[in-house]
């Protein structure tokens, strides 16, 4: 999929994380030696985790509320609410419906969830831009994020690698006659569907003893199917697909590498990101990151990195950006955009 979207302006961007921080060195994972090796290899030194009663939808709602307030948007004019997540509150209804209510958005607002992970942000920009009508006043909210790090069971604390952190974000899109075009290229290779997956009871493949956990904590029955990842194959997928995807986009836009202010890529781990940066011939300054303090934050990585590392530039100037998300699916997408002076509140801590 390769399309150019016209007259859609990114009016604002906000991100939210839980206040609760877990330094990896102080976590219960493995041994001190394993934790030190883990941080050296992955680049993750701390992460934010939702408390037991805190959910990704809370983070997304907080980001959206702050953004709507700072934009002074009339909530009655929000026509679309899209929530991209793999951490819904419930199997159904779609969490976007709960958020529509919590945000006091009108019943004329379309609201639905999309099940995508690390590739989600370029997908979300495309869908949100497509749904924004080509007329004054048309407004869309794109919410995206996961609570991929939140432990579901106390017994997970010393066995599950502390790679993932929790975060969510809100992006505000509106029609604007002078907005620069935004080009988006999206890809899928479902042959790698089992490289990263989380099974469900009654699903295919079903649960077996190795990924079935049960515990009764605090009077609550909890059942967890652990997510599975083939790290080696994910590395190879990324190496094969991401550099060509970015080169293809640069060529399609006729943008020299040097003309791009920032390449904001999903950050799976330091090992993967250093490989990509070297293969793409980019400097650390051109590839801002949020991995060290927040971990791999799934689909929120790109907006979280923009808010925490690129906020002043986004607020005060026109920025030429290449955004690239890749992972579970397998799925990947690239966006080439020029965003001009948006509302961007400081990181929200909840």
Our finding on whether 89 is near other proteins (CB under 8 A) is no
Our finding on whether 151 is near other proteins (CB under 8 A) is no
Q: Helix, strand, coil proportions of the chain in percent (round to 5)?
A: 35, 30, 35
- Cβ neighbours around 308 below 10 Å, total: 18
C-alpha distances (whole Å) from 147 to each of 150, 162, 224 are: 6, 12, 14
Our finding on whether 41 is near other proteins (CB under 8 A) is yes
User: Least distance in Å: CB of 40 to other proteins?
Assistant: 8
Our finding on whether 180 is near other proteins (CB under 8 A) is no
Question: DSSP readout, 232-293?
Answer: HHHHHHHHHHHHHHHHHHHHHHT--GGG-SEEEE--S-HHHHHHHHHHHT--GGGS---HHH
Residue with token string 């150019």: 4
Q: Per-residue x/- mask for other proteins, residues 249 to 288, rule CB under 8 A?
A: ----------------------xx--x--x----------
User: Least distance in Å: CB of 274 to other proteins?
Assistant: 9
Reduced to 3 states (helix: H, G, I; strand: E, B; else coil), residue 347 is: coil
Our finding on whether 25 is near other proteins (CB under 8 A) is no
Our finding on whether 235 is near other proteins (CB under 8 A) is yes
Q: CA 273 to CA 329: how far, in whole Å?
A: 19
Our finding on whether 38 is near other proteins (CB under 8 A) is yes
Our finding on whether 51 is near other proteins (CB under 8 A) is no
User: Least distance in Å: CB of 41 to other proteins?
Assistant: 5
Among 4, 130, 239, 346, which residue interacts with other proteins (rule: CB under 8 A)? Answer: 239
Our finding on whether 178 is near other proteins (CB under 8 A) is no
Which residues neighbour 230 within 8 Å (Cβ) at sequence distance 6 or greater?
194, 195, 196
Interaction site with other proteins (CB under 8 A): 37-38, 40-41, 161, 230-233, 235-236, 239-240, 271-272, 275, 278
């Amino acid at each position: 999929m390769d399309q150019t979207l016209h007259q859609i302006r990114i009016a604002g961007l906000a991100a939210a994380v839980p206040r609760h921080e877990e330094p990896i060195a102080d976590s219960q994972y493995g041994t001190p030696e394993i934790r030190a090796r883990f941080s050296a290899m992955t680049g993750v030194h701390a992460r934010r985790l939702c408390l037991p009663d805190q959910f990704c939808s809370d983070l997304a709602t907080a980001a959206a509320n702050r953004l709507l307030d700072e934009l002074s948007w009339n909530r009655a004019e929000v026509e679309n609410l899209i929530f991209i997540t793999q951490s819904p509150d419930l199997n159904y209804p779609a969490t976007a419906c709960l958020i529509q209510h919590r945000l006091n958005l009108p019943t004329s607002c379309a609201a639905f969830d999309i099940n995508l992970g690390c590739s989600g942000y370029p997908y979300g920009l495309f869908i949100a831009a497509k749904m924004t009508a080509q007329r004054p006043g048309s407004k869309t909210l794109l919410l995206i994020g996961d609570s991929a790090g939140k432990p579901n069971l106390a017994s997970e604390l010393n066995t599950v690698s502390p790679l993932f952190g929790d975060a969510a974000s809100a992006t505000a899109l509106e029609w604007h006659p002078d907005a620069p075009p935004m080009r988006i290229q999206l890809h899928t290779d479902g042959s790698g569907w089992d490289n990263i997956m989380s099974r469900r009871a009654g699903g295919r493949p079903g649960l077996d003893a190795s990924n079935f956990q049960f515990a009764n904590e605090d009077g609550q029955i909890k059942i967890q199917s652990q997510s599975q990842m083939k790290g080696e194959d994910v590395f190879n997928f990324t190496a094969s697909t991401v550099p060509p995807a970015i080169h293809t986009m640069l060529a399609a836009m006729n943008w020299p590498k040097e003309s791009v202010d920032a390449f904001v890529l999903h950050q799976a781990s330091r090992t993967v990101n250093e490989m990509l940066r070297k293969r793409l011939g980019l400097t650390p300054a051109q590839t801002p990151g949020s991995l060290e303090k927040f971990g791999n934050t799934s689909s929120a990585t790109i907006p979280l990195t923009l808010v925490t590392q690129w906020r002043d530039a986004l607020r005060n100037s026109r920025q030429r950006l290449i955004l690239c998300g890749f992972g579970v699916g397998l799925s990947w997408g690239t966006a080439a955009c020029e965003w001009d002076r948006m509302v961007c509140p400081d990181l929200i801590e909840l």
